[in-house]
Amino acid sequence: MAGTWRVQAHALRLVVLAVGVFGLSEAGGAGTDAVAAVPPGAHLVSASDRVTASPEMALGVHLRLLRAGPQRHSLRPEGAGGPMDWGRRPDPAPDVVLAAPVPAHAPVGTEIRLSFSEPMEPGSVERSFRVAPAIDGRLQWADATTVVFRPSAPLAFHTTYQVNVVGMGTVHAQLATVGRFAFTTAGRPPSVAVPFTLTFDDCGTETAIRTILDVLADRGLHAIFFPTGQCRDQYPWLIPTLLAAGHQVCNHTYSHPVLPRLSSAAVASEIQRGVSAGCNLFRPPYGALDKGGRIAGIAASLGYRIQLWDVDTRDWAGTPADVMDAMIRARGGVVLFHMHGVHTVEALRAL
């Protein structure tokens, strides 16, 4: 599942010295493949007249085709001496990025925003803009370099959409850009009649944690995480990743001891070496507090208040997913899960 966490869009971009690529018909809005809109016989500089069955393949034959990192979504010709010798370094063609939505777990109410590196000839972009599966909507220019497609209805849940565009810059009118992007919408949100807050304690394998994060993102859920300080130290990526995903990250001590057995100084040390990430909630391991309020007092002196739970799923002990979901639906409130739960991910998926 870790793979799905990575950026899924392999946006390709062909830098084209294009003559005639924009002799496109006016027909067609969203729905067909932009690259396929290149008419048979489109004449490309230094291209032969042979046109293969796939226009995209044809472009690939005649043009330098390079994969780029996810940040730029761009393909640029290499210097002279490559498979295609460009001679003098060509003027830079316009760049295009998918400014919105994010590649994965996009909200179904999203708009599609493309950002170009220079002002574009509007008609070239409008004629070629395609989304597949097809969706109805309006394409409008926010400014000379930003075009926004606003769907007329929410997108489908859990669906991958392809966005293709061909555009011609106004600075160097002979230079065209082809942008191909993909994004996947989030899944259906949970159907639970009562308010609930999910919390995840302790630590887990990297795969387990990333799978939980993926499912939460897919269901559009934010949660409160209580990792131990040891977990933070084991996974330096953990806290930044949780925060970047919009979750709260709170304190669960450093090493998960039974606090009532410790001296006050040791309790304070455990809390202070625990996670501090902008959250004032403290969850004692095992929910163990002493009758005199000593631990709560120490936590308060360090700026924390105690946060226990309403629903104890005992997911660590193997509670079946449907049982845990029924517990949540019956009561709601603060739900205790763990990053090492046995059927936790199944419960989240079915919620």
Q: CB-wise, 118 or 202, nearer to Zn ion?
A: 202
Q: Would you give the binding string for Zn ion spanning residues 151-190, x where CB under 5 A is met? A: ----------------------------------------
Q: Using the rule CB under 5 A, is 202 a contact of Zn ion?
A: yes
For residue 102, give the nearest of 210, 189, 211, 183 by alpha carbon. Answer: 183
Which positions from 257 to 296 touch Zn ion by CB under 5 A, shown as an x/- string? Answer: ----------------------------x-----------
The piece of 40-48, 202-210, 231-239, 343-351 that touches Zn ion (CB under 5 A) is 202-210
Query: CB 276 → Zn ion: shortest distance, Å?
Result: 17
Q: How far is CA 226 from CA 219, 220, 294, in A?
A: 20, 20, 21
Cα–Cα nearest to 125, from 205, 214, 226, 21:
21
Position 56 contacts Zn ion (CB under 5 A):
no
In whole angstroms, how close is the CB of 336 to Zn ion at the nearest point?
9
Name the minimum Å distance from CB 308 to Zn ion: 11
Active-site pick, 73, 95, 201, 218: 201
Q: Which is nearer to Zn ion, 92 or 285 (CB)?
A: 285
Q: How far is the CB of 230 from Zn ion (least distance, A)?
A: 11
Question: Cβ(273)–Cβ(243) under 8 Å?
Answer: no
Residue 56 or 201: the one with the smaller Cβ distance to Zn ion is 201
Alpha helices (H) in the chain, listed in sequence order = 2-5, 55-62, 122-128, 206-218, 229-234, 238-244, 264-272, 294-301, 321-331, 344-350
Q: CB nearer to Zn ion: give 164 or 313.
A: 313
- Residue 338 bears catalytic tag: yes
At residue 190, what are phi and psi to the nearest 5 degrees?
-60, 150
Closer residue to Zn ion in complex, CB, 118/315: 315
Categorise residue 31: left if φ over 0, alpha if ψ from -120 to 50, beta otherwise: left
Nearest distance from C-beta of residue 285 to Zn ion, angstroms: 5
CA 308 to chain centre: 31
Q: Which residues contact 10 (CB under 8 A, 6 or more apart)?
A: 67, 182
* CA distances from residue 85 to 64, 81, 95 in whole angstroms, order as listed: 9, 5, 21
The catalytic residue among 62, 252, 338, 343 is 338
User: Is 201 tagged catalytic?
Assistant: yes
Instruction: Tell which one of 201, 270, 315, 325 touches Zn ion (CB under 5 A).
Output: 201
315 touching Zn ion, by CB under 5 A:
no
Measured CA to CA in angstroms, residue 11 lies from 7, 45, 66, 71, 176 at distances of: 10, 24, 11, 10, 16
Q: How far apart are CA 91 and CA 169, in angstroms?
A: 12
Active site residues: 201, 338
* Footprint on this chain of Zn ion (rule: CB under 5 A): 201-202, 285
